[in-house]
A and B are shown apart, each in its own frame.
Chain A
């Protein structure tokens, strides 16, 4: 049977990028379709009528939405290079940390973008506290997945990368090597792996995009 796999994504979205990495790690061929989120395609609206968001994976015409759900679907359908461990308890732990990254790390970082100047200091501190949990979890391991890249690595890499890019663009420290040596070393390692860094958006384009977002947020706050 000819396999038809499409990914509706957005080039700067960490949720979309994590799907691409998962597919590439498993050597799965797919057609990537870039969505213009200000002008959503009929295919996107039909494939994810509930949330109307990317990413959406369409496998032989059947759509799957929500990035963590998509990752598990990919892992269950293409069993090579598994992302989730086999043991039920280890799987529960992996799911816990993936959810943590999306809920705590990313949400706080988004709060920062919309915050008033006086609130920013506290948000950075809050972010630091949450990152400490992640730092501790990674201690003593090559990757969150153990000796090889796993589910949490795929989920967290683009979120932490987003933080690092924000750092450079804003000239504010969110995740210093001094306070987060384990996380920074892990990011360094991943940045060296071709299949992983190959998924990152082009640097200049990404920085310009972030700058534009920051400006837009500033005018919104005023």
Chain B
């Protein structure tokens, strides 16, 4: 498929946006990045995602694709001749989609509780968060990537949260590396890839963002 106009509506600290950035970079797709102010959403965003009004939204030849996992799958299918993210075997594809869904159900929501809550609620979130990461660590096993020998769909889906780990650790007062060393090794390995390097913000910047967000939301 010809690389016609590709636009990404995004917000720099969003792990969901990072997924799409990584996928586009993996495929070598040139695109226009548009930073959204989520306190003042653009007319374009509201027009392109009227249902959820959220980023990321990938716009290809004027046609919008919302929801990060759907956008990543779309990128994989529309530019299928380069760097396939999903395997070709249906069973392995199903496994990859299952784990992507698991990341969505657990990691983001639990991570948010870690920085947004205190006391028992925070402790419970930390515990479940680590359990979820350990489960994924087990799934990774001795492979370099979740995709096996090469970087794939689940790697794209999970690695953005690595840029948030520092913030989680500071606010949650715990060490993720101490609990999940193999997962951190994996994350560092992914970060050596240019597509990931270009797409993830500096973790101290993310921490600063969360500090400001907490202030704005009135969370101590």
Interface set of A (CB-CB < 8 Å, partner B): 50, 59, 62, 64-66, 68-70, 72-73, 76-77, 88-89, 91-92, 95-96, 99-100, 133
Report the minimal beta-carbon distance from B85 to chain A, rounded to whole angstroms. 13
The residues of B that contact A66 with a CB separation of less than 8 Å are 97-98, 101
The distance in angstroms between the C-alpha atoms of A28 and B33, with both chains bound, is 45
Nearest chain B residue, comparing its CB with the CB of A94: B70
Report the minimal beta-carbon distance from B101 to chain A, rounded to whole angstroms. 5
The distance in angstroms between the C-alpha atoms of A69 and B105, with both chains bound, is 14
* Interface members, chain B 57-77 (any A CB < 8 Å): 60, 63, 65-67, 70-71, 73-74, 77
The distance in angstroms between the C-alpha atoms of A92 and B63, with both chains bound, is 11
Docked-complex contact B71 and A92, CB < 8 angstroms: yes
Docked-complex contact B70 and A99, CB < 8 angstroms: yes
Classify the interface of chain A: helix, strand, loop or mixed: helix
The residues of A that contact B98 with a CB separation of less than 8 Å are 50, 64-66, 69
Nearest chain B residue, comparing its CB with the CB of A104: B51
The residues of A that contact B70 with a CB separation of less than 8 Å are 92, 95-96, 99
Classify the interface of chain B: helix, strand, loop or mixed: helix
Provide a sorted-by-A list of 27 A–B residue pairs whose CB atoms are within 8 angstroms: A50-B135, A59-B91, A62-B91, A64-B95, A66-B101, A68-B97, A68-B101, A69-B94, A69-B98, A72-B94, A73-B91, A73-B93, A76-B90, A76-B93, A88-B74, A89-B60, A89-B65, A91-B73, A92-B70, A95-B67, A95-B73, A96-B65, A96-B66, A96-B67, A96-B70, A99-B67, A100-B51
Give a binary string over B102-133; 1 marks a CB under 8 Å from any A CB, 0 the rest: 10000000000000000000000000000000
Report the minimal beta-carbon distance from A23 to chain B, rounded to whole angstroms. 15
The residues of A that contact B50 with a CB separation of less than 8 Å are 133
